[in-house]
Amino acid sequence: MGNRWLKFLLLYLGGVSVSLSQLKIVPLQNEFSLTTGWSLTEISWLLSIFTVSGIFLSIFGGVLITKYGAKKILNLVMICTILGNLLGYFATSYLLLLLSRVIEGIAFSMIIMVGIVFINEWFRDNHRGMATGIWGTFAAAGTLIAMNLFLPLANASGLKAPWLLVAIIAAVLMLFYQIAIKEPDEEKKLDNVADTKLLKQAMSNKKIWLLAFAQGCMSFVLFSFINIYPLIYTQQYNISESMANQYAGYFGLFGIPFGALAGYLIDKTKKDRLVTIGSFLLMTLSTLFAIMLNSTGAIFLQLFLLAASTGLSSACIMIIAPNFLENKKLIGISISLINFVYYIGIFIGTPISTMIASWSGNWIPSILTLTFVNMIGLVIVAFLKYDHKQNMVKTI
pLDDT digits (tens, 9 = 90+) for 13-52: 999 999 999 889 888 887 887 888 887 778 877 877 877 7
Q: In the chain, what are the domains?
A: 4-395 (1.20.1250.20)
What is the pLDDT, as a whole number, of residue 396? 35
What is the pLDDT, as a whole number, of residue 281? 95
What is the pLDDT, as a whole number, of residue 324? 78
User: How many percent of the chain have pLDDT more than 70?
Assistant: 92
What is the pLDDT, as a whole number, of residue 353? 92
Q: Residue 392's pLDDT band (boundaries 50, 70, 90)?
A: very low
Summarize the confidence of residues 128-136 as an average pLDDT. 80
Summarize the confidence of residues 373-390 as an average pLDDT. 81
Higher pLDDT, 323 or 290: 290
Summarize the confidence of residues 94-113 as an average pLDDT. 89
Q: Residue 132's pLDDT band (boundaries 50, 70, 90)?
A: confident
What is the pLDDT, as a whole number, of residue 44? 76
Q: Residue 185's pLDDT band (boundaries 50, 70, 90)?
A: low
Is residue 395 pLDDT above 70, yes or no?
A: no
Is residue 2 pLDDT above 70, yes or no?
A: no
Is residue 125 pLDDT above 80, yes or no?
A: no
Average pLDDT, the chain: 84
What is the pLDDT, as a whole number, of residue 217? 95
What is the 3 state secondary structure string of the chain? CCCHHHHHHHHHHHHHHHHHHHHCCHHHHHHHHHHHCCCHHHHHHHHHHHHHHHHHHHHHHHHHHHHHCHHHHHHHHHHHHHHHHHHHHHCCCHHHHHHHHHHHHHHHHHHHHHHHHHHHHHCCCCCHHHHHHHHCCHHHHHHHHHHHHHHHHHHHHCCCHHHHHHHHHHHHHHHHHHHHCCCCCCCCCCCHHHHHHHHHHHHCCHHHHHHHHHHHHHHHHHHHHHHHHHHHHHHHCCCCHHHHHHHHHHHHHHHHHHHHHHHHHHHHHCCHHHHHHHHHHHHHHHHHHHHHCCCHHHHHHHHHHHHHHHHHHHHHHHHHHHHHCCCHHHHHHHHHHHHHHHHHHHHHHHHHHHHHHHHHCCCHHHHHHHHHHHHHHHHHHHHHHHHHHHHHHHHC
